[in-house]
Each structure stands twice: as structure tokens, then as C-alpha cells.
Amino acid sequence: MGKKKGWAVLLLSLFLVYLFGVSIGPWLQHHIPGMDAIVTVMEANDIDGGAYYYTEIEGAAEGHAYLEQSLQTLAPEHYGLTLPFAAGVVICLCILYFGFRFLPC
């Protein structure tokens, strides 16, 4: 693989990660059951999602309790081998395949 193609693939990959974080991720938030409620609580309590697992913030305990409660009260059809779960697995495998196939070593 030439240098130009390698750089193009790297820049395209970085752009796709950025696109996911800015537009696709927030769009998915409204389509994943329970995610809107979790995001609302995190924003109301000023919980930083990026630092949620890495720091000992006071709101982390409340956030964890809320997440546990919301996951326990979701309808049973949201668990198990559902179409969104299977689609997520297929998408992850495609990302891995294309990443290892086309990114420069």
C-alpha cells in the first residue's frame, strides 16, 4: 500500500470516528431503549461520561444506582438475541474486518 493511500485510509478512519461521535452516536441515543433516560440523568447530575469510570466523583454512585435500576426495569424484550444486538455484532465485525484489511500496518 502506498503512502498516499495509507494516509487517505487513516484520515478517512479518523473522520468516521469523529462522525460517529458527533452525529451517529447522538442519533442512536434516541433509538436504544433506556438510553435517553440515562443521558438525561447524567446531564442533570453533571456526570462526565468520559470520566465516569476513571474518577471517584460523587455523582458516580448515584449514576451507577440509576443505571442498575433502569436496566432492571427495562422490558424483557430488550434482552437476549434481538435484531439490534445482532446488527451491532455484525457492524462491529465489519469495522474490524475493514480496519485490519485496509489500514496501513
pLDDT tens digits along 18-68: 998 888 888 888 887 777 777 787 788 777 776 655 556 666 677 777 777
Residue 48 sits in the same domain as residue 61: yes
Contacts 24+ apart (CB under 8 A), 25-32: 32/84
Q: Are residues 88 and 67 in the same domain?
A: no
Regarding whether 39 and 24 lie in a shared domain, the answer is no
Count the domains in the chain. Answer: 2
Residues 94 and 67 in one domain: no
Q: Which domain holds residue 17?
A: 1-30+80-105
- Scan for cell 442519533, then name that residue: 27
Give the end-to-end CA distance of the chain in Å, rounded to a whole number. 9
Comparing 73 with 92, the larger pLDDT belongs to: 92
- 24 lies in the same domain as 4: yes
pLDDT at 15: 94
* Placement of cell 438525561 in the chain: 40
